[in-house]
Structures are given as C-alpha cells and as structure tokens.
Chains A and B, each alone.
Chain A
C-alpha cells in the first residue's frame, strides 16, 4: 500500500497490489470454473481481464471480492497472503466492486446507498450531515458529480453508475473491480467513464477491468490477462500485441472480424411504418412519429441507449401493442394493431431480447421449446395427439444444424448455456423461413463463437430475401450487420444513416444521446 509498510519485500521491486496464486474453483456439482490461475497486477495500473462468457472472469473477481471461496490457491495483497473467507473481507482490505447489474437500492437516496453498511452514527441516529459531507468529498475528489439527495432509481443509468463507483470507492478503496461497466452506456458516456477511471488510477487506485470488448480494453488498460475455459490463456502488455493475437487467446483459435458489405436495396418496402406513435404507462416504451421502412433482403439496425423506445418499436411489429396513430403496412396490408398470430401468419419471426422469459420456457425440454408455436402443424400432430417420433427427428436435425451443445433433446432448456439457448431459439424461428425477422439483442451475453454463428444465420436470412429489423445495444454488432442504421432517442428516430465505412460508434453517439436529430 503505502511506503514503509513492507520495506523488506521491496528489495525486488514493489509487491504487486494483487497476486492470484494458483487459484482454483470447483463447484459442488463438479463444474470446474477456474483451474490454477496465477497472475499479478502491479499497483496503480489499469489491468484488463478478457475472456468469453463462462471463461471464469466473474468467478475470479467474486473470489477477490470475497463473495466466493476458492477451492485451491490463495490471494496475495501487497505481498502478503490473505484469507478471503473472512467477514467483510473486501471492505477491510479496500477492495471495491462495480457490479454489472448495479447493486444499488433504487428507493434509497444517493447518500443512503453510498453509506449503506458503514453508516456514520451519532447518538444512535445516522449522522446525516457527516454522511452527506462524505459523499460530497468523494464526489469532488474523484470528479464524479452526483446529487447526494437524489432518489437513486430516478437517476439516468450513467449517473447511477457514478453512484455505484462512488459506493465502491467509499471505504478507503485501493483496488477497484469493474465488471463489464460499459454495457449500459453510450459512446460519449463511455469516454467520460474512461477518463474518470484514468483519474482514479492517477489517485493511486489499482483498477481491474473486465470486458469482452477489445477496443475498450485497448483504449483504457495497460496490461491484459486472458482467461479461457477457466485457465490462463495468456497475458500481455497491450502495446505489444495486435488485436487478432488477443482474439486468438480469447477464442483459442484464429478468428477474423469482418464488416458485412452493406447493400443498397431499392423497390417496394416490405414493412412501411409511417408517423406511428405509441402510448404506454412506461415512458421508455413510448413512441412518437416513427417513420421506418425495411425492404426485402435489407437489414435495418436500430441503435440507442436502452429504454429509448426500442421495446415499443418491437412491440408494434410483433403484435403486442397497437399504435395510437399512424400506419403500419406489411406487404401493402394494414397491420396496425394486428395480433401476434396474424403477424406470424404473414411470415414474421422474432428472436426476443430476453431468451428465458419470452424466447423459451426454462423448465421445459429442448424438444418442447423447439416446437413451441407449431401447434396445428400436420407434421407434428395427428388429431389431438403429438407425433413424438416426427418431432424428435425434426428437433434433432435442428440441434445438429445449429450446433446446439446439449446432452440430449430431452434436457431442460435452463441446463444449457445462454449461447446454446439462443441458438436453439434461432433455429426455431428461422426454421419457418421468415419474410420478416426481428432480432432483438440477438447475441447479448453469449460467447463470441455462438454470436458469430447467430450473425451468419441472420445474414443468411436477409440474403434469402427476408426483411430484418436488428435491435442491439452492441454497436460493433450493429455496424457489422446492418445495411442501414436507425438511431432512437426518447421514443423518436433521431437519425437514419447508410452504413458506410465512415460510420463509427462516435458518429452515432450524439444521436443516441439526443444531442443531434431532435426536432
């Protein structure tokens, strides 16, 4: 930590802030999450940890934060071995964590959230003046401006993240862990976050940054450690290695990332939405005067910070909402307020954003999930009875075709990894050879290999002539697949842009924040 505490060990250079020493974690059910992972992080640096989903990044950080116990190995802090299995381990050792899903209580004030668990007291009551002063001091010292009295749940996401960071820093924190912190932010907000994090590192805080986005890792961190399948796959100074080397470490094999050549599509649009507005109790779902056309064979990508109206837009074309005004025409037919069944009958297919509540039923088998929505199909039904043999053969073919990794098609859906669930749902939806495909966050939270597979199938569908509406928070995905990009903010479309080479996430930023393109 500070000088003079462990001078004896400083002869060979300062001890690293954190050293993982042959850390292993095997769960009770036999799953090996980590195996003999060793690496160290020098003090006052920003260190990235990369890897696919399930590579063990989060487990490793939970161990460092004291939320889980390793089954083997130990952690060293400043050159001393520590036991993480003690109460309030993280707090006592100055380790703070910014969780991917915020750990803020929405109904409490900003100050209450930050002091929670270590409240300053005076005569049995919370010393509110001291608490507020502490929040203001932290806020000033680290350049993170927040209103100490605001109700946390009413703040915008970027502000909530600042609160989350302040909370993580509130206990004399020396080591800050950030788990995928950019997922909820727009590009300008990400830049802002990164410059704040660089300031923190200047203040002497060691930062561990978990991400699967290479460009972010590169712009923020100095060194990177890559985990693959629970083992150390490599470590490097970022200045020394090119992107494809890191990707190869992440994937375990060479990969190429290419941007699809956008196509200019002309002629009659398949979907034509004009001046469509949607009312909703939730402001995040409201839409105002949406004009949108999608031609056959065209992929239209929708960009926007979460809650900009994407959900409302999807509900209009999947038959779950009726516009209050405006028209929606599909292949010339008026479809405003049409039911889901009618949309499906016209050739709509839908990859929903939440694969476990809308996409599939977790407690049912792969087979049951794969034939959901096919009732009445003569191939699978004779009279009132299901034809189990025919169904099994069809589902087995789907599983094979989409390389869904499962022990058997009789397994429960929730025994599969997220990527495999998404592949199965994609198989089901694309089996109908749709004319209109809605892909809503199609690869959120799934590993790179499965994501590449889903991308290929979406592009294939477009090349067969389907109109595709791609809604995604992942701007790399958006720019890689789309022919045209539509940006939404506060229920409006703020830009419609051709996906040319000069279109970058930075160009989209102002439209995503409503700084440009608002009436």
Chain B
C-alpha cells in the first residue's frame, strides 16, 4: 500500500477517530479542572477505574449503557474524593493526583481479581460494548457517508462535547466562575463565589469525563478490561490539554494531531520499521510542539 492510499483509506480515518476518542474526552476533562485551578493529574487513574467499572457493571446487568453510567459515576466519585483531599484536608494537588493513579492501578487489579479470579484480563466476563451509530441520511452520501457514519456512539459524544464545553466555559455563569477561580481564587471569593464548591464541581465533572474515556477503552476500543490498559493515555491527554492552550477547540485540534501521529505509528509498523521507534511518535510530537510554542511565547514581547 502506498502512503497516499493509506491516507485516503476510510479504515485509516476510522483508526484516527478510534484513537482520538478517549484522548479527547480525557483532555476535555483535564481542561475543565485546569481552568478551575485544580489540574487533574489523576486522569489516568480515573480512566482506569471507569474502564473496570464499565466492564463489571455491564457484565452484571447485561446493559452497556448501565456500564457506561457506572463508569461515569465512578470517575465523578474519584473527582469528589480528590477535591475533598485537596480542599477539605489540605493535601497537595500533585500528590493527590499521583495517589489516585497509583491507587487505581492496584485497586482495579484487585477489583478484577475479586470479580473474575484473574489478575490480567476480564475475558471470562460477558461485558457489554457501546453501540456504533449509523447516521441516517448521512451514511447514504457518496464518498463522505462511509467516512463519517458508523462510528462508536462515544466518538460522536466526544466530538459533541467540544462545542458544549466551549459554550459552557464562555457563556454560562458556571464557566465564568471556573475561569475566575482558576486565575485568582481570592478575588473570586471576595464577590461571594465559593472557591471550594466550584473546584469540587470542576473535579467531579473532570472525573466523569475521565470515567467515560475509560469506558470507551474497555467497551468500545476493545471489549474487555486488562490490567493498566490505559497505558499512559491519561498523561498524553495532559500533554494534549496543554497544547490546546486551555480551550476546547484548541484541545480538539491538538487531539487530532496526536491521533494522526499515533495512527501513523500503528500503520507504519506494517512497513517493517522498528515497532519501538514508531511507538515513540505520540510522545515525541507533544514535546516538539510544546517546545516550539514555548519558544514562540518567549520571543513575543510581553503585552501589558
């Protein structure tokens, strides 16, 4: 297959979307927490917990949608726990995030073991998968139809979340308060805003998105839970959010870049290039982009 054929292949497009979905949802979650001044470093752990909760609950109830709901609730609860640790008990935000990641890594392994007797995979469970969505009318458009129709419902959810979160941040009182609290909590408090409440809400929302991203991994990307299956996606999402400059649309753009890089890594393996070299791409790209951006920021004279 030639390079051009790969790019125009609908399968490549589908791979980009598949890779993109969990990263975009997670990065949007980090965005909300970041703007509220409580950067969610525990995203990886929230995703992992969501992934397990989705598999277990969908297996027990036989409903993928209930599994998704459980994943969202689990992520939100961890967000609330993090907010309580930071604002209620005075824990350091970074340490709380690391604690969530470490606890989730072992906790999900333990949970998997209790549920299946296996520490590695949930293959024995009959867990649900989120359905794909055939878009009526759109799928019949020649050329474009097969490209944009038929993807996982969470993929559409992730794309829809971009304008919704952008609107929330820019146009709602909640978004305005998040932006105010994130820049100067003391000033926000003097006008009667409860900083702790806003940060709690932001972290819960962030956690819910994290749970959703995790559910996509175990109930869409694949159909099982595996130990540490998030494989650093929560951290890549952090890099994406930073590249997105704190805006939802910027985050979407950054996610597309990273997803293309990762897809490239996946497809290039068929050319016989070393696997390890290709797997570096998703990590090298953010470093290069962030370096360029930082350098540009320095060169620009500071505005007053």
Can you offer 25 A-B residue contacts whose CB atoms are under 8 A?
A: A103-B184, A103-B187, A105-B179, A105-B183, A105-B184, A105-B187, A106-B183, A107-B183, A108-B176, A108-B180, A112-B176, A112-B179, A116-B188, A116-B191, A117-B177, A117-B192, A118-B192, A121-B173, A125-B167, A125-B172, A126-B176, A128-B171, A281-B301, A281-B302, A282-B302
Q: A168: shortest Cβ distance to chain B, in Å?
A: 10
Residues of A bordering B, CB below 8 Å: 67, 87-88, 90-91, 97, 99, 102-108, 112, 115-119, 121, 124-126, 128, 154, 167, 281-284, 307
- B: residues with CB less than 8 A from A are 167, 171-173, 176-177, 179-180, 183-184, 186-188, 190-193, 298, 301-304
* The residue from B176, B188, B190, B193 contacting A99, defined by CB atoms under 8 A apart: B190
The reply to whether B192 and A88 contact each other, CB–CB distance below 8 Å, is: yes
Among A105, A124, A128, max chain B CB count under 10 A is at A105
Of all chain A residues, the one with the shortest Cβ separation from B177 is A116
Residue numbers in A under 8 Å from B179 (CB-CB): 105, 107-108, 112
Q: How far is the CA of A283 from the CA of B302 in the complex (A)?
A: 7
Known: A103-B186, A105-B184, A106-B183. A119 touches B176 (CB 8 A): yes
Report the minimal beta-carbon distance from A110 to chain B, rounded to whole angstroms.
13
Q: Kindly identify which residue among B172, B191, B301, B304 contacts A117, using a CB–CB cutoff of 8 Å.
A: B191
B34 CB to nearest chain A CB (Å): 13
Nearest-neighbor residue (CB-CB) of B193 within chain A = A117
Distance between Cα atoms of A108 and B177 in the complex (Å): 10
**In the complex, what distance in Å separates the CA atom of A115 from the CA atom of B173?**
9
A interface SS class: loop
Known: A121-B173, A281-B302. 4 other contacts (CB 8 A): A103-B187, A105-B179, A125-B172, A281-B298
Q: Which 7 A-B pairs have the closest CB atoms?
A: A117-B191, A103-B187, A119-B173, A88-B192, A125-B171, A103-B190, A105-B183
Give the chain B neighbours of A90 by CB distance below 8 A: 192
Q: List residues of chain B with CB within 8 A of the CB of A307.
A: 304
Is A126 within 8 A of B172, CB to CB?
yes
Q: Majority SS of interface residues in chain B?
A: helix
Whether the Cβ atoms of B176 and A124 lie closer than 8 Å is no
Cβ contact within 8 Å between B172 and A124: yes
Q: Are B301 and A283 in contact (CB under 8 A)?
A: yes
Pick the residue among A104, A125, A154 that contacts B187 (CB under 8 A). A104
- Report the minimal beta-carbon distance from B297 to chain A, rounded to whole angstroms: 10
Q: Is the CB of B304 within 8 A of A284?
A: yes
**A126-B190 in contact given A105-B179, A116-B177, A119-B176 (Cβ < 8 Å):** no
Q: A112-B176, A116-B176 are in contact. Are A105 and B301 (CB under 8 A)?
A: no
B180 touches A105 (CB 8 A): yes
Bound CA span A104–B186, Å: 10
Q: What A residues does B177 contact at CB under 8 A?
A: 116-117
List the B side residues contacting A167 at CB < 8 Å.
191
Chain A contacts of B184 at CB under 8 A?
103, 105-106
Q: B167 to chain A: which residues have CB within 8 Å?
A: 125
CA distance A307 to B183 in the complex (A): 22
Q: Smallest Cβ distance from B250 to chain A, in angstroms?
A: 15
Contact across chains for A126 and B171 when beta carbons are under 8 A apart: yes
| A91, B172: Cβ atoms closer than 8 Å | no
CB contacts (< 8 Å) of A91 on chain B: these are: 191-192
- A167 and B303 CA atoms in complex are apart in Å by 24
- Smallest beta-carbon distance A279→chain B, Å: 10
Output the nearest chain B residue to A283 by Cβ-Cβ distance.
B304
How far, in Å, is B294 (CB) from chain A's closest CB?
14
